[in-house]
Amino acid sequence: MKSINYIDVLKHPVVGRLSLIQFLSYFGTWFSQVAIASMLVEYRASELAIAMVFIMLMLPSVLLAPLSGFIVDRVAFKKLMTILLFTEISMTLLFMTINSIDAIGWLMLFVFIRSTASSMLFTAEMSLFPKILNGEMLKRTNELHSIIWSVCFALGMAIGGVVTYYFSYDTTFLVDVSLYLLATLVLIDLKIELKVVEHTQGAIEMMKSGFLYLKNHKKLIHLLFIHAVLGLTSFDTIITILADKHYSAFLAVPLAIGWINATRAFGLAMGGAFLSRFIDKNTLHYAFALQGVVIIIWAIVQHDFVNSLILMFFVGLFTTSLWAYTYYMIQQETKEEFLGRVIAYNDMLFMLSNITVTLFIGILAKVGVSMFIISSSLGVGFLLSALYYRWFKRVYLKNLI
C-alpha cells in the first residue's frame, strides 16, 4: 500500500484550501506578534506586563472552552469561519490605536478578542478533519497543519521583525489585515459537504454532556494532559526578556525576537517533515525526554545570541511531532458527535498549561530569578513527562490505535 505523503494531503479539495487559509491566517498572527512584543519593550512595560499580554493570547481557550465547543458543534463550519476571520481583521486594525504604556489595558482587550476568534477557528478546523478524514490521512494532515504553523511562525516572526524595524507598527498591522482578507477570499470558494448531526439539546445541556463524556473517559483525560505538556515550550516571554537584557546591545529588539523565533520555527518545520515517521506510541517517551535535554542545554548557552540561535533550532525539532501525534491520539479516541467539545476542552487545558508557564516565567523574572534556572526547569518538566507517558502506555495503550 502506497504511503500517504503531504502532497497527497494537499490534493484533498477541502484540506488543500483550508491549508492555504491556515497559512495566511497563521502567518498574519505571527507577523504582528513581533510588533506587539516590540511595542511592549519600547513603551518600557515590566516583565510581568509583558507576560500578561502574552497570557491574553491564550486565556480565551481556557475561559471559553465549553462555549466555543458548543458553537463549533452547532454553527455551520463555513459561516463560523467567516465571522471569526472578520473578527481578527477588526481587532488587528484596533492595535493601531495603541500608542503608549497607558493603553496597555486596551491592548490586552484587543489581543484577548482576536485570540478568542483565532482559538475558535483552530477548534473548528481540528474538529472538522476527523469528520472527513481517518487513519494515516488524518495523521498526516495533523502533521502538515503543525508544519504550516511552524513555517508561518518562522516566516512571520522573521519578516515581521524586519518590517517592524524598518517601517512601523502600523505598517505591520496593515499587512496583517491584508493577509486575513486574503484568507477570507479563499474561504468563499470552499465547497464542503458534511453529514448533518442533529442536536436536540440546548446550549447548557450540550456543554454538560460534553463535560460528562470527558469525565467518564479516563484514558482521554490522560491524553489531554499528555498533550498539554507541550505548553512547556511557551518561550515568548523568555525570548522577549533575553532580547531586551542580553541581545539589544548589538541587535535591535524586533530583529532579535524575530530571528530567534524563526530559527526555532525552522526546527519545528524540519522536525515535522523528517522525525514524525519515528514517533509512535512506543517511542513517544523518548521524544519527550530528548526535548527536555535540549531545552536544558539551551538554558546553559542562551545568554549568547549565536549559541541561543543554534540551540533554538534543536529545541523546535521534536515539538511538531510531539504535538501532531498526541493530537492524533485524542482525535482517534473521541466520538464524532463530541469532537468540537472535546477539542475545545483539549485546547483549554493546553492553553492553561501555556498560561501557567508564561505567568511562572513572568513572576520569577520579576523577582530576579535567572533565565537559566527558569528555562532549565521547563526542560526538567519534559523529563518528568517522559516518565508520565511510560506509565500511561503501560496502563492504557494495550489496545490503542
CATH of the domain at 121: 1.20.1250.20
401 within a domain of the structure (yes/no): no
150 within a domain of the structure (yes/no): yes
Q: pLDDT value at position 1?
A: 45
Question: CB atoms < 10 A from the CB of 77, how many?
Answer: 19
91 within a domain of the structure (yes/no): yes
> For 266-288, what is the mean pLDDT?
82
Task: Quote the number of domains for the chain.
Answer: 1
Q: What's the pLDDT band for 275 if we cut at 50, 70, 90? A: confident
Could you tell me the CA-to-CA distances from 268 to 61, 103, 177, 308, 312 in Å, in that order?
Answer: 23, 34, 26, 16, 10
Contacts of 367 (CB under 8 A, 6+ apart): none
**What is the rounded CA–CA span in Å between residue 55 and residue 351?**
9
Q: Which residue has the higher pLDDT, 37 or 69?
A: 37
**What is the rounded CA–CA span in Å between residue 329 and residue 322?**
11
- To 5 degrees, how large is the angle CA 43–CA 46–CA 47? 125
Per-residue model confidence as pLDDT tens digits over 127-174 = 788 878 777 788 788 878 877 877 777 677 778 878 888 888 888 889
Percentage above 90 pLDDT, the chain: 17
Kindly state the DSSP code that residue 44 receives in the 8-state scheme. Answer: T
> Which range marks the domain in which residue 224 is found?
6-189+203-396
194 within a domain of the structure (yes/no): no
**What is the rounded CA–CA span in Å between residue 17 and residue 100?**
39
Element (H, E) at 299: helix 284-301
> For 183-204, what is the mean pLDDT?
69
**What is the rounded CA–CA span in Å between residue 224 and residue 211?**
13
**What is the rounded CA–CA span in Å between residue 320 and residue 301?**
23
**What is the rounded CA–CA span in Å between residue 322 and residue 286?**
10
> For 177-206, what is the mean pLDDT?
73
Phi-psi region of 44 (alpha: psi -120 to 50; beta: other; left: phi over 0): left
128 within a domain of the structure (yes/no): yes
Which of these, 143, 144, 183, 140, lies nearest to 31 by C-alpha position? 183
Which of these, 225, 228, 202, lies nearest to 323 by C-alpha position? 228
- CA end-to-end distance (rounded Å), the chain: 18
Q: Which residue has the higher pLDDT, 236 or 281?
A: 281
**Does the structure show a pLDDT above 70 at 401?**
no
195 within a domain of the structure (yes/no): no
Which of these, 74, 70, 401, lies nearest to 211 by C-alpha position? 70
Q: pLDDT value at position 296?
A: 95
Element (H, E) at 185: helix 169-188
Q: Is 368 helix (H, G, I), strand (E, B) or coil?
A: coil
387 within a domain of the structure (yes/no): yes
